[in-house]
Amino acid sequence: MKLLFASAECAPFFKTGGLGDVIGALPKELAKKDIEVAVVLPLHKTMPAAYREQCEHIASFSVDVGWRNQFCGIERLQLNNVAYYFIDNLYYFNRDNLYGYYDDGERFAFFQLALIEMMQVVDYIPDIIHLNDFHTAMVPFLLNEKYHWIESYQSIRTVLTIHNIEFQGQYSPEVLADLFGVGDRRYHDGTIRYENDINFLKAGIVYADRVNTVSHSYAREIQTSEFGCGLEGILQQEKGKLSGIVNGLDYEINNPESDSALKTTYSLTDLNGKKKCKKELQEIMGLPIREDAPIIAVVSRLTHQKGFHLVLEELENLLQYDVQFVLLGTGDPAFEHQFQLISEWYPNKCSINITFDVTLAQKIYAGADIFLMPSRFEPCGLSQLISMRYGTLPVVHEIGGLKDTVEPYNPIEKTGTGFGFSLFTPYYMMEALKKAIHVYQLEKDVWKELMKNAMSQDFSWETSTEHYLSLYKEIYLKDGGKAEDKKDQPAAFATLWDGSYSSQRKHLVQRRR
């Protein structure tokens, strides 16, 4: 099986968040399983020189973006058995940030057209293209409606992963002709229309062979008006091809036994190092060195999505308890300002660090006791996985990936890997925090057990990769596959796939053949 991942970001080259981490990890893991994997990315200006220098220029051609004729260079880099193809165009990608420009629609229209045309130029024709988020979600539509005449592309199947449904790529219908060079039939018949715009993500949901998201709960939640951001209707319609797979965690980077960011490493069987990490953290943060006061930590983007309006509402209340509060992150300037203000009032209890610092983040995951993550919605979330791995118990809003990965403390059975609240209000968040503080201070043995439970959870990519492989095989083998790949497959794949086709998809596939 031959795969091509398409994404706007990918660690270690450039990333702004969890999407970059996933694209940095999953292809690498698949390559370990002898799958042929490539990743296609824009060549962003921020790519570190060390990687830039290793790239080999393999092709140049031009791409029509509507009436424009744009240069497209292809740089290739082989790393960890994955081939990375970078789409080079200075006009579109030589910018300080990855996103946030007035012409993002045009930039990612170019990227998608270029990556499709690239496959032929570099002779990498995958069996499956795995698209990620709206930046690449028009690819299945384009393969169907614009490039269907290219014979070698006709058997390519597509998987679209939604990492965050809030960002959809909504543009006026004129971009169909102006950027993609296609007619507006699919806008007028409603297929890719949302309100009076075209919507990249909706197009992806309708045209991709499979749609998945990064946790089971989020896959369910986005089919409701509370979380679907307007796309709940189309997701209900296409639910037969919608699934959820929880992201993994890079166990090599996030390992308390070997993390070079830590002064003292530690493990499940020897937790002494964690105490030293706590002491070091208190020193760095200028807080009193106290083993008995739980450190409640936050490492996050400071946004409404992450629930910081709740935290700000309760922070002063929380600081009345015998606790320390440590925050690392940047985001909404109003949030940054309010946190800083409160820390000035409570210098001995509260340390606010408005910055981005990867090493400090690891020190916080290791040195803290409680990790607060009250996201309003959370497709998967990574920080709760890291904190559990470091024995720092998460307090989470039980939603999306947080619900699927953190088992809330059960005071009867004394089980769990963290604490949860299901109603998204400051009061319930505070109740969960109070429960955590109580167990930390008064039930030390139970706390230790919970730490051990958390640390022994398996959130490795190994497990998630197996689920992705099954997903790919469902569409690949259904459509023929290769004899050698077919040999060991259980018959269940074919049955599952047949049963879950939506009628609209059937129509699309029939047309394509």
Segment contacting ligand GLC by CB under 6 A, of 321-329, 339-347, 380-388, 425-433: 380-388
Among 247, 324, 387, 465, binds ligand GLC (CB under 6 A): 247
Asked whether position 214 contacts ligand GLC by CB under 6 A, the answer is: yes
Q: Between 22 and 370, whose beta carbon lies closer to ligand GLC?
A: 22
27 binding ligand GLC? (CB under 6 A) = no
Spatial distance between the Cα atoms of 359 and 356, rounded to a whole number of angstroms: 9
**Residue span binding ligand GLC (CB under 6 A) among the ranges 4-12, 16-24, 103-111, 281-289:** 16-24
The least CB distance from residue 3 to ligand GLC, in Å, is: 18
Residues 194 and 165: their CA atoms lie apart, in Å, by: 14
- For 231-296, give the secondary structure using H, E and C: CHHHHHHCHHHEEECCCCECCCCCCCCCCCCCCCCCCCCCCHHHHHHHHHHHHHHCCCCCCCCCEE
The answer to whether the beta carbons of residues 322 and 315 sit under 8 Å apart is: no
Q: Binding residue for ligand GLC (CB under 6 A) from 89, 136, 158, 164?
A: 164
Nearest residue by C-beta to ligand GLC? 18
C-beta of residue 407 within 8 angstroms of C-beta of residue 396: no
Where does 327-425 have alpha helices with state H?
333-345, 358-367, 383-389, 400-405
- 55 SS3 class: coil
397 near ligand GLC, rule: CB under 6 A: no
When asked if residue 98 is in the footprint of ligand GLC (CB under 6 A), the reply is no
Per CB under 6 A, the segment of 12-20, 261-269, 340-348, 354-362 that binds ligand GLC is 12-20
Q: Which is nearer to ligand GLC, 163 or 397 (CB)?
A: 163
Taking CB under 6 A as the rule, does residue 256 contact ligand GLC? no
CA–CA separation, 510 and 502 (whole Å): 12
Residue from the set 130, 163, 241, 397 that interacts with ligand GLC by CB under 6 A:
163
Residue closest to 130 by CA, chosen among 464, 469, 466? 469
Nearer to ligand GLC, 187 or 377 (CB): 377
| Residue of 401, 416, 420, 481 that binds ligand GLC (CB under 6 A) | 401
Q: Residues in contact with ligand GLC, total (CB under 6 A)?
A: 14
How, if at all, do strands 210-213 and 82-88 pair?
A: unpaired
- Burial of 228 per CB tally in 10 Å (0-12, 13-18, 19+): middle
How far, in whole angstroms, is CA 414 from its chain's centroid? 32
By CB under 6 A, residue 248 contacts ligand GLC: no
Phi and psi at 397, nearest 5°, equal -75, 125
Q: Does 22 bind ligand GLC (CB under 6 A)?
A: yes
User: CB of 507: closest distance to ligand GLC in angstroms?
Assistant: 30
Asked if 42 interacts with ligand GLC (CB under 6 A), we say no
Among 8, 40, 342, 380, binds ligand GLC (CB under 6 A): 380
Q: Is 383 in the site for ligand GLC (CB under 6 A)?
A: no
Question: What is the separation of C-alpha 286 from the centre of its chain, rounded to a whole number of angstroms?
Answer: 33
Check binding of 221 to ligand GLC (CB under 6 A): no
Tokens, residue 402: 């947080």
**Distance in Å, CB of 214 to ligand GLC, minimum:** 4
Q: How far is the CB of 376 from ligand GLC (least distance, A)?
A: 11
- Count Cβ atoms below 10 Å from residue 124 Cβ, excluding itself: 16
C-alpha 292: how far from its chain's center?
Answer: 35
CA distances from 30 to 384, 411, 457, 496 (A): 24, 40, 22, 23
Closest approach of ligand GLC to the CB of residue 379, in Å: 4
For ligand GLC, the closer CB: 88 or 398: 398
Q: What number of residues does the chain have?
A: 513
String of contacts with ligand GLC for each residue 322-361, x by CB under 6 A: ----------------------------------------
Among 27, 204, 367, 381, binds ligand GLC (CB under 6 A): 381
- Give the separation between CA 312 and CA 328, rounded to whole angstroms: 14
The binding site for ligand GLC (CB under 6 A) comprises 17-19, 22, 163-164, 214, 247, 378-382, 401
